[in-house]
Amino acid sequence: MLKKILFTVFFASISAMLKGQSIQTDSTTHKSSATSFSFVNGLLDFADEHLHFRYRSGGTSTKGFDCSGFVRYCFKNFGMVLPHGSAAQSLLGNTVARTEALPGDLIFFKGHNSKQSRVGHVGIVTEVTDKYVKFIHSAWNGGIRYDYLESDYYKKRFVSIKRVFSTHESSKDKKD
């Protein structure tokens, strides 16, 4: 029963976040930050359970994942359906600065050719410090694994970080 209640509150929160509203439950207004926190923790734990699954071009299942298929698979497990394709996923959400990145954000890169401007790769941010941004993704040379934005390969190909859901109260909410 508790699972059903949490599940209902979670989906109401996601809907409210997408609409930029708070949710009403039991006559009390709740911000979506607590639900978002548990969503992100669940998402990252779920992604981590797939470490070392193989890379497969066009893959969207445990038989093998491409980068956007893996991101889509992880978010879909928590009720958020994203398009398949890193370029399509890069059109979602709001761009955030590297210094504002949070776990659960999507991180986008150019493909194999660092001179191209087109998005060709995506991962999920897992950890952010002053020194590094760590992310999990499906790489053609290693399958599901962790890497760092600051590595030479990814630093040259970095495009943007996008937030596809609200993970904390906006600065406007904090001032009210």
How does DSSP classify residue 118? S
The answer to whether residue 37 is domain-embedded is yes
The CATH number linked to 75 is: 3.90.1720.10
143-160 pLDDT, tens digit per residue, is 999 999 999 999 999 999
The answer to whether residue 176 is domain-embedded is no
- Is residue 73 within a helix (H) or strand (E), and if so which, with residue range? helix 67-76
The answer to whether residue 149 is domain-embedded is yes
How many structural domains compose the chain? 1
The answer to whether residue 173 is domain-embedded is no
Task: Name 70's Cβ contacts closer than 8 Å, sequence gap at least 6.
Answer: 47, 50, 59, 137, 138, 144
Instruction: Give the range of the structural domain holding residue 147, as residue numbers without chain letter.
Output: 2-24+31-167
The answer to whether residue 77 is domain-embedded is yes
The answer to whether residue 61 is domain-embedded is yes
Please provide residue 144's backbone torsions phi and psi, each rounded to the nearest 5 degrees: -70, 125
Q: Is 37 exposed, middle or buried (0-12, 13-18, 19+ CB in 10 A)?
A: middle
The answer to whether residue 172 is domain-embedded is no
Can you give the pLDDT at residue 112? 82
16-44 pLDDT, tens digit per residue, is 444 343 333 333 333 345 557 889 999 99
The alpha carbon of 165 is separated from its chain's Cα centroid by a whole number of angstroms, namely 9
Q: What's the chain's length in residues?
A: 176
The answer to whether residue 174 is domain-embedded is no
pLDDT digit string (tens) for the chain, length 176 residues: 333 333 333 433 444 444 343 333 333 333 345 557 889 999 999 999 999 999 999 999 999 999 999 999 999 999 999 999 999 999 999 999 999 999 999 999 998 888 888 999 999 999 999 999 999 999 999 999 999 999 999 999 999 999 998 644 333 333 33
